[in-house]
Structure 1
Amino acid sequence: MHAKTPAGRTAGALRLSARPLDALSASAPDAAPDPAADARCARNAAAAAALAAQVAHSADGSEAALRALRAALADSQAAAVAAGGPAPGRDPSLNSAADDAEEPAVAAAREAGWTVVSCSTTRRTDPSASPPVSPPP
C-alpha cells in the first residue's frame, strides 16, 4: 500500500492509533486513563476513522457513504480540538463536543453499513455509556 493513497494513510493511521490504545489500556487497567493520553488516543482513532471513511466513500460513492464521511471528518476535527490546547483532554466542554460529534458519525457509519468502533473519552471512562465495538451488520 502506498503511503500517499487514502488506503495507505488509513493503514498508517490505524497502526499509529493501535499502539497508544494498547499502552493506555495496559498501563492501569483498573484506573481511569490519563485525560491527555485518552484524548490523544480518541483523536488518533477519529483521524483513522475519517481516513477509512474516505476510502470507503471512494469505493462506494453512495449518499450514505458521503454522509458518513462528512460526519467522520467533523468527529475527527472535534477530537483534535479536545486533544489540543493548554489542557488536553481536561476541558469538559471540548470533551463533550467531541463526544457529541461522535454520535452522528457512529450513526452515519452504521447507516452506511460499516462496522463501528467507538473511542470517545466518555465511553472509555464510563464503559456503561455504550459498547465499544458494534457487531458487524
Structure 2
Amino acid sequence: MTTVNYWAVATCTLINIILGGLWYSSLLFAKPWAKLMGLDLNKMKNDPTVQKNAQKGYMISTVCHFIMVIVLAHFIQQILGSSSWLDGMKIGFCCWLGFALTSMLPNHIFSKNDFSWKLAAINIGYPMVGASLAGAILGAWR
C-alpha cells in the first residue's frame, strides 16, 4: 500500500484556490455570475461586510479544498494500480459527478424561484474542473 503524496495534495489545494479566484474573476465568470445572483460588483468591492465575509470564505474554502483533495488522493490510491494522469482525471470527474453535481444541482434548483441553468453551470462547473484537475495531478504524481 502506497502513501499519500502530501506535496501533491498541497499543490492541488493551492491550484483549486487559484482556480476559484480565476473562475469568479472578471477574466472568466464574475460578471455573469454577479448578474445572475442579483449582485453589484462595484458595491461589493467597497462593502467592508463583504470583505470580512470573503476572508472567512477563503479560509473555509481552503480547508474544504484540502479535505476534498485528501479524500480524492485516497480514492485514487485505492483504485489505481499504476500512475496515470488520465485515470486520475477520470476518477476526479467521477467523484464530481457522483457527489458534487448530485448534491449541488438540487440545492441550486430549490434555492431560487428563478432557477438559472447558466448560474448552476458556473457554480457547479468550478468543482468539476477542480476535481478533474486535482485527479490528474494526483494520478500522475504518486
Higher Cα Rg: structure 1 or 2?
Answer: 2
Please, what TM-score do these two structures have when normalized by structure 2? 0.32
**TM-score, normalised by the number of residues in structure 1:** 0.33
Name the one with the larger helix percent: 2
- Higher-RCO chain (CA-CA 8 Å, sequence separation at least 6): 2
